[in-house]
């Protein structure tokens, strides 16, 4: 059996957790191939995934296969093509989204044309966005079922487009209670929503040496520098800590569209000597910071656009390394950070409470050690990559198996019909549509 996993681009730094999942699924024996929707663009590439590149159906901005796919399906399946165009037209009053959706349709046609003679058993899409839309188009063009993994409750498409994607999906995976409740509120039947936690490989995160202490207490934060991460709140909390005379160094790792404004705010608050913004670092370098830090901070907020975090992978990684986390009551963070057990939770956009909890952990080594042990146990019990992949594999195999009786019944019916010679291919094509 073959699973087509859609990914916006390959190999994106911001989605290494998705690539690790694909790699692990392949190791279980599943034939997972990767459908790339567009080339890398303003997205930094990650390393260490060359082993997956041979399974990727690559993409340029435009290709002959896009044109071939449009002509092929326009003649062979005009009704399905019109159906796809009808979905894109629902965003006609939003020109930017409409043009993006047309491009996604062309990308889906390219993939459908390339795989027209391949038996794809299931299409998977991480994120309820571009990938999910492409999966919906592929269902029309190839007649292949699809499942979606949702990580956040913020969506870019309008309600009509979103409902079209959701109602045609065969199943959903939610990695937090927040995303599960969001999907249920969208009208998805409960039996089609499966809670499967995101996870990391514990082999990559040995438990920290509790005796290793940095010369100066380090506050660590990491993530893409955009509004929903709330790093401006962390800078305000650092200013409060400095006013209180706390001894610390804050290290912020990551790059993004808010780097310039955050750098300016850091200077305005007089934090140039206390806060260091390192920009992009390798995965190995990030891991080394987990073991040097005293506390990890994830000050996520709900942006003015309504965009919010899901459950950041860096939070899981920090906890796995035995690093206490101070996070906010936002998105999926409370699913893994238990207040007073393996870290602290504070309201979003509240720099004073954030500073209070950070200071407690900086000053109380015994508390940090107790939280560190609990943090590791939390990840071991429910947030490992092995557990995630095991549950995903069972779900995928179950979904494919549940469709086989119907497919076999269709085949039996086709066998009973007296099909004239030379028309078998046409009959198969219409059955798949």
Per-residue pLDDT band at 45 (split at 50, 70, 90): confident
Q: Which residue has the tokens 């296969």?
A: 65
The SS3 assignment for 254 reads coil
pLDDT of residue 213: 54
pLDDT of residue 60: 87
**Torsion of Cα atoms, 47 then 53 then 59 then 65, to 10°:** 170
Average pLDDT, the chain: 89
Distance CA 286, CA 47 (A): 14
pLDDT of residue 48: 84
Per-residue pLDDT band at 227 (split at 50, 70, 90): very high
pLDDT of residue 346: 97
- Convert the pLDDT of each residue in 116-171 to its tens digit: 999 999 999 999 899 999 999 999 999 999 999 999 887 888 888 999 999 999 99
Distance CA 18, CA 21 (A): 5
Q: Are 52 and 34 in contact (CB under 8 A)?
A: yes
- To 5 degrees, how large is the angle CA 228–CA 276–CA 267? 80
pLDDT of residue 263: 96
Token code pair at residue 236:
């305000």
Non-local CB neighbours of 184 within 8 Å, separated by 6+ positions: 190, 193
The SS3 assignment for 149 reads strand
What percentage of the chain exceeds 90 in pLDDT?
77
Q: What is the average per-residue pLDDT within 206-221?
A: 76
Tell whether omega for the bond before 11 is within 30 degrees of 0, i.e. cis.
yes
Distance CA 194, CA 178 (A): 13
Assess if CATH 3.40.50.2000 describes domain 202-382. yes
Per-residue pLDDT band at 214 (split at 50, 70, 90): low
Per-residue pLDDT band at 211 (split at 50, 70, 90): low
Least confident of 110-119, 150-159, 313-322, 368-377: 150-159
Distance CA 34, CA 56 (A): 5
Least confident of 43-47, 251-255, 309-313, 345-349: 43-47
- Convert the pLDDT of each residue in 410-425 to its tens digit: 444 433 323 233 333 3
Distance CA 314, CA 306 (A): 22
Token code pair at residue 235:
């800078």
- Starting at the earlier edge strand, list the strands of the sheet with 218-222: 275-279, 249-253, 218-222, 295-298, 325-328, 343-346
Chain-centroid distance of CA 186 in Å reads 19
| CATH fold label, 2-199+385-432 | Rossmann fold (3.40.50)
Q: Which residue has the tokens 């391949």?
A: 118
pTM of the predicted model, to two decimals? 0.86
- Convert the pLDDT of each residue in 378-419 to its tens digit: 999 999 999 999 999 999 999 999 876 555 544 444 333 232
Query: In the chain, what are the domain boundaries?
Result: 2-199+385-432, 202-382
Per-residue pLDDT band at 212 (split at 50, 70, 90): low
């Amino acid at each position: 059996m073959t699973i087509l996993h859609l990914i916006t681009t390959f190999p994106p730094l911001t989605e290494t957790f998705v690539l690790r999942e694909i790699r692990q699924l392949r190791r279980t024996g599943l034939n997972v191939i990767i459908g790339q929707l567009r080339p890398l663009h303003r997205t930094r590439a990650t390393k260490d995934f060359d082993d997956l590149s041979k399974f990727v159906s690559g993409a340029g901005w435009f290709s002959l296969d896009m044109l071939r796919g449009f002509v092929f399906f326009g003649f062979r399946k005009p009704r399905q093509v019109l159906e796809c165009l009808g979905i894109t037209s629902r965003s006609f009053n939003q020109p930017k989204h409409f043009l993006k959706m047309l491009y996604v349709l062309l990308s889906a046609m390219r993939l459908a044309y390339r795989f027209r003679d391949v038996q794809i058993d299931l299409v998977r899409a991480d994120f309820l966005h571009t990938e999910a839309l492409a999966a919906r188009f592929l269902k029309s063009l190839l007649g292949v079922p699809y499942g979606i993994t949702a990580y956040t409750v913020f969506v870019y498409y309008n309600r009509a487009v979103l409902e079209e994607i959701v109602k045609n999906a065969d199943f959903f995976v939610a990695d937090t209670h927040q995303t599960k409740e969001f999907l249920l509120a969208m009208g998805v039947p409960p039996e089609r929503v499966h809670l499967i936690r995101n996870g990391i490989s514990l082999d990559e995160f040995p438990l920290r040496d509790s005796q290793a202490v940095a010369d100066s207490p380090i506050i660590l934060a990491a993530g893409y520098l955009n509004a929903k991460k709330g790093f401006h709140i962390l800078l305000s909390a650092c200013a409060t800590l400095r006013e209180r005379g706390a001894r610390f160094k804050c290290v912020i790792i990551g790059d993004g569209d808010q780097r310039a404004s955050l750098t300016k705010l850091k200077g305005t608050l007089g934090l140039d000597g206390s806060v260091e913004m390192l920009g992009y670092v390798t995965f190995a370098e990030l891991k080394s910071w987990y073991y040097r830090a005293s506390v990890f901070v994830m000050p996520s907020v709900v942006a003015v656009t309504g965009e919010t975090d899901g459950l950041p992978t860096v939070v899981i990684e920090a906890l796995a390394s035995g690093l206490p986390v101070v996070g906010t009551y936002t998105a999926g963070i409370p699913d893994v950070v238990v207040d007073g057990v393996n870290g602290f939770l504070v309201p979003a956009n509240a720099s004073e409470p954030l500073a209070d909890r950070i200071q407690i952990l900086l000053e109380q080594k015994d508390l940090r050690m107790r939280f560190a042990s609990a943090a590791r146990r939390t990840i071991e019990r429910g947030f490992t990559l092995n557990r995630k992949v095991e549950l995903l594999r069972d779900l995928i195999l179950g979904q494919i198996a549940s469709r086989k009786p119907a497919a076999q019944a269709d085949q039996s019916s086709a066998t009973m019909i007296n099909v004239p010679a030379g028309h078998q291919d046409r009959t198969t094509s219409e059955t798949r549509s």
